[in-house]
Structure 1
């Protein structure tokens, strides 16, 4: 343990169109230079399975596309999310089997709840890095159970008392479910030198906003022993804060999302209806230049999170601004666009009520951040 190690964090990843290496190529030079890259795999990679009812289902992606993640040095994936069970137990099993074959560690979705709650652990330079992954947005049918495949989860109460689902007004995490998450964290802490907790959480397609449960839940993870908390699901970048000196990336936005599943012109009734309904729900019209990533106009502003872990445990936190070029490919922007995206990250955190951050020195395009 003679040197710092760099861990990078990517948000949602969906690669269900051809040539996955092309879509990752705009950031691959950066990811290949890290000791470890952790991303979130949004959909199952399978050619089998039955469509899950209860949410707007995502199609299964080509299993062969996962190899592009390995080629880009993405070595660890969180998988607990609202779409990972969309092709049923077979879809999860096929995805896990291919990730195992490729040597990509994964956490958060498995054949039953006990296995879904297990940490993934990898070693880098003599240090053990553990990842736990939880779905905080439902739908409940996608959650794993004692004898049902699905994702690990934290139950979050809906304001109307209805079931937990992505389109609900989710307001408060269930105390018993939080306690279970904290017990998992405490147990994983005993096995790891560095512990990352991934939370699939938040309000989709809305700039800046954090749901009432998000900060308390992230804080609870830190208080139980997490070194870093990362969030995803909103498909738009969120702010960053520190709690007890540990970083929380409230929303990493899209890591690399290229999919036909959200385009308005398609023959799947549920997906076509959702493509229209979300315009009204979230008040935006997708830019036609982004047919593979038809998200909120502000979602073109993105980031790659970074934590540099020193041998004594000190963490330097920063991020690299990224931009999504049409039709949805992440790239490292030239200046002054990179500086404008860094300013955007600052601004949305303040608008969401997060404490202001101070920027430290920057190396190249990387932005170092510290508590103000």
Structure 2
């Protein structure tokens, strides 16, 4: 009997170096059993930059992604131009040669905004991808390589008569680039049964946070025709919500990451690197996690899992994971560690005011769609 539904998996940020096959070991069977797997490639790979080469960020070291069974990579993000246009060009060339589909970046803006359409089980699924966090150097132009983007404006305003005091912070999408996204979605919806929009967004390394533009952009994407929103960049988990019957994964945390401490600096690693990290982001990395220098709460991560039936999601769930000291995500299921992850997800969801409910469904966490969660 021909399968009618599509089992879709989305993972967060992927950062690789040399010999990173081990990072994917626990996820291989899950990916093999899925119809479509998408991940976010955080950095480009090239042999034309000395720093990239020193960290093992050369194109052939992307091979574990192909071997693991990841079908699609989103590329739009704040590190896209770390190794210049050469990094983008060499990464895209390698992905093309190895039959891995990609979107969100290109050698000009037209290419970066180009959607990806793929078909599984007689369902046409379209993807779009935008960077919402800058910097401007990553934005593609008519004659410049870079990513598709939405320009987010930050406005600081005093809410009391105290010049120099703490401001209230407002964030919102600039209308022109927001219009590009809505135009792209409407066009793609005419060609597909189902549309996924991937956003690089959110406050990095900041627990239980959701700023205004994140919901604005996500809601307007769904109003324009998107059926699912997946998000990355923050390197820490965010909550999930439903809007008009469509799920929004506000932050998947990390997928598969190899990030040795020296990758954080172009020169020698300072002796006080941990203290400097704390001064910048308000946390001190666990020094036993030598290739995973993230917020301690980033040890909890997840994969999004959705069942797609033509033009709707019939089930949305979370695969709970815990990152071990090698940086490898372990699929913890309904274990003690899995329950800790569920409790954490419930806590951060409540703290930002979302009313989403979660419950166990076998070894997965179901994202419950109740009427109260819909706008």
Q: TM-score, normalised by structure 2?
A: 0.89
Contact (CA 8 Å) 1:256, 1:329: kept in 2 or not? yes
1:280 maps to 2:267? no
* Correspondence for 1:339: 339
Rounded to whole Å, the distance in 1 between the matches of 2:74 and 2:271 is 28
Rounded to whole Å, the distance in 2 between the matches of 1:368 and 1:185 is 27
Unaligned runs of 5+ in 1: 53-57, 162-168
Change (3 A) 1:294 1:170: farther
Change (3 A) 1:115 1:267: closer
- CA deviations 1:107-140 (Å, max 9, x no partner) are 1110000110011121111222111110000000
Rounded to whole Å, the distance in 2 between the matches of 1:186 and 1:311 is 17
* Correspondence for 2:160: none
Q: TM-score, normalised by structure 1?
A: 0.89
Change (3 A) 1:27 1:188: same
- CA deviations 1:15-42 (Å, max 9, x no partner) are 12x2221111122221221101010000
Query: C-alpha displacement at 1:155, in angstroms?
Result: 0.1
Query: C-alpha displacement at 1:158, in angstroms?
Result: 2.3
Query: C-alpha displacement at 1:371, in angstroms?
Result: 2.5
Contact (CA 8 Å) 1:263, 1:294: kept in 2 or not? no
- CA deviations 1:32-56 (Å, max 9, x no partner) are 211010100000011115889xxxx
- CA deviations 1:151-197 (Å, max 9, x no partner) are 11000012359xxxxxxx77211122211111011111122222110
* Correspondence for 1:109: 105
1:183 maps to 2:183? yes
1:131 maps to 2:127? yes
Equivalent of 2:140, from 137, 144, 156?
Answer: 144
* Correspondence for 1:13: 14
Contact (CA 8 Å) 1:261, 1:271: kept in 2 or not? no
Matched ranges for 1:179-328 at <5 A: 179-260=179-260, 268=267, 277-311=276-310, 313-328=312-327
Unaligned runs of 5+ in 2: 158-168, 371-375
Query: C-alpha displacement at 1:237, in angstroms?
Result: 0.8
How many residues are treated as equivalent by the alignment? 356
Equivalent of 1:75, from 49, 71, 77?
Answer: 71
* Correspondence for 2:60: 64
Contact (CA 8 Å) 1:82, 1:137: kept in 2 or not? yes
* Correspondence for 1:353: 353
State the secondary structure of the residue aligned to 1:213: helix
Change (3 A) 1:60 1:188: farther
Contact (CA 8 Å) 1:262, 1:294: kept in 2 or not? no
- Larger Cα-atom Rg: 2
Query: C-alpha displacement at 1:281, in angstroms?
Result: 3.4
Rounded to whole Å, the distance in 2 between the matches of 1:274 and 1:147 is 38
Rounded to whole Å, the distance in 1 between the matches of 2:171 and 2:269 is 26
Query: C-alpha displacement at 1:299, in angstroms?
Result: 0.3
Change (3 A) 1:208 1:358: same
- CA deviations 1:195-218 (Å, max 9, x no partner) are 110100000111111122111111
Rounded to whole Å, the distance in 2 between the matches of 1:275 and 1:193 is 48
Contact (CA 8 Å) 2:237, 2:298: kept in 1 or not? yes
Contact (CA 8 Å) 1:47, 1:60: kept in 2 or not? no
Rounded to whole Å, the distance in 1 between the matches of 2:354 and 2:48 is 43
State the secondary structure of the residue aligned to 1:6: strand
Contact (CA 8 Å) 1:358, 1:371: kept in 2 or not? no
Query: C-alpha displacement at 1:276, in angstroms?
Result: 5.1
Rounded to whole Å, the distance in 2 between the matches of 1:218 and 1:257 is 26
* Correspondence for 1:119: 115
Rounded to whole Å, the distance in 2 between the matches of 1:97 and 1:314 is 33
State the secondary structure of the residue aligned to 1:291: coil
